[in-house]
Amino acid sequence: MNSIRTYIIALFLAFGLQQVQSQSYHFKTSGFSVLEKNEKGKWGQWSDLDLVNLSVVLDTDKHRIVVYSQEIQLFSILDYIEREENDTDIVYSFMCKDNDGRECKLSIITRKKQDNRKQLYINYDDHIIVYNIFTV
């Protein structure tokens, strides 16, 4: 009887001590474009779409989003904004700080009327970067 009880306790300890896996979402980019404000503070035109194949990871356990570009873009999540949905889009947004300590808002938008195409928007006061992304 003691060996069964010891086995059960060991089993519970083994399950209880297993490392919890973080919740992370992996994406790849297919292109990006940039929109900038001009000297007068007015938004210009979106740049031509440049094709680019990068990895993007949203890690909710570590509270960060990483874009693995030539210079790694690390965004620490400060606040999770409530999910928004309308007839055309589903939006998950995050208030973040980048590598340089600048605050920005990142949004992952699913375009429901465009075959659920996904985009990552990185919004600063003076420019916006958009990546076309897909789940891997």
Residues 13-49: tens digit of each pLDDT:
344 444 445 589 999 999 999 999 999 999 999 999 9
Q: What's the confidence (pLDDT) of residue 36?
A: 97
User: DSSP E strands: which ranges in 86-126?
Assistant: 89-97, 103-111, 117-123
Instruction: Look at residue 10 and tell me whether its pLDDT is greater than 50.
Output: no
Closest to 61 in 3D by CA, of 104, 19, 13, 18: 19
Query: Which tokens in the block code for residue 132?
Result: 């076309």
Residues 11-21: tens digit of each pLDDT:
343 444 444 45
User: DSSP E strands: which ranges in 3-72?
Assistant: 24-36, 50-51, 55-59, 64-68
SS3 76: strand
Considering the entire predicted model, what is its pTM? Answer: 0.82
Q: What's the confidence (pLDDT) of residue 7?
A: 42
As a residue count, the chain comes to 136
